[in-house]
Every structure is written in C-alpha cells, then in structure tokens.
Structure 1
Amino acid sequence: MLSLRDCLDFIDLDQETVDIIAEHQHLSEVVATELGNQLVANRVGLLVIHDMHRDLIAQAANRGRLSRERELRKIYERFCRKYPMPHGQL
C-alpha cells in the first residue's frame, strides 16, 4: 500500500500545491494528489491549478484573512516559478 508520501514522491507537485487542490476542491490529500498528477500533465490542467490558487487567494482577501492571503500568495509564487502560466493555444 502506498502512503501519501509515496504518492507525492511519484508526482511533480509539492505538498503545498496538493493542499491547495484539496482545499479548493474539498478533497482528501490522497485524492487531491491524484487529481494534481492528472492536472499537471497538460496545459489546460495547469491553468486549472493556477485558477485554484487565485480563487483561494481572492477568498482569503475577501474575508479579510490577510495572513492567509500572504501565505497563499507565497505558495502561488513558488508554483508560478515552477509552472509558469501557459500561453498560446490550448
């Protein structure tokens, strides 16, 4: 049986991004790991992950949760360095 750590080692996403997917989609970490693995495999999926990050940042800002917003922005910056926003035809 694979552990969550095993699954994370298998895919090209960090724990923070998996947590973003889990929070945004209301999924367990294991299911979010699998979803993230599928999304990161293509340009459309990368756009979806970018949108998830931005949605959670906006939610935190709208709720006045400034420390959470700053934390999410840092996580998103790291994600963007690794996976820049895809451009061109999808």
Structure 2
Amino acid sequence: MQDLIDYCDLDRGEIEAIAEHEHLPMAIAAELSEVLVCSPEGVCQLHAMIIENMQHALEAGQNQRVLDLMQTYEHLQRTHPLPTRH
C-alpha cells in the first residue's frame, strides 16, 4: 500500500479522506486521486470531499477526526489550491 501511496500526487490523509467519502478501498481511492488531481474540477471535488468529511465528523462529535481532517485540508490547500478563474 505504501508503494501505491508514494506513487500518488496526494498524501495518505488525502487518500484516506477520498476512501472515506466515496466508501472505497484505499487502493481504489489512490487510483481515483490521480484522476481527480488532473483537472480543476477534480481538485474542486477533492476540496469538497474533505470539507464534507469534516462536517460529518463534527456532527458525529468526532473532534479528533475533525482536527485530523483540518490538517489534511490545510495540506491539500498548499499542494492543490482551489483553481482561480481568470
């Protein structure tokens, strides 16, 4: 699994967030991550997935999960910021 993650353009937390959001095994989420980072629309979807995961964790009272997802989202913002319109 680590080799697959090393191949991806996203880190483990981001791939785990995709897997959680889409109810997929990590290997398939890793493959999906590579498709998503290839387009502005896909990057927007990634941002939305992590935000939705944070909302669900907050609603469930999973405070540590919210904090973990916030760190994951901060990393995503640095490495794959939301596209801007020109």
TM-score, normalised via structure 2 length: 0.91
Indicate the structure whose relative CO is greater, using CA pairs within 8 Å and at least 6 residues apart: 2
Structure 1 residues without counterparts, runs of 5 or longer: none
Alignment correspondent of 1:22? 19
Q: List aligned pairs for 1:1-90, cutoff 5 A.
A: 4-88=1-85
**In 1: Cα distance, 2:26 partner to 2:3 partner:** 12
State the shift of 1:71 in Å: 1.3
Q: CA deviation at 1:7?
A: 2.2
| Cα distance in 2 between the residues matched to 1:39 and 1:83 | 11
Q: Please tell me the root mean square deviation across aligned C-alpha atoms, in Å.
A: 1.2
Q: Secondary structure at the match of 2:83?
A: coil
Residue by residue over 1:44-65, the C-alpha shift from the partner in whole angstroms, topping out at 9 and shown as x without a partner, is: 0000000000000111111121
Unpaired runs of at least 5, structure 2: none
How many residue pairs get aligned? The number is 86
Superposition deviation, residue 13 in structure 1: 1.0
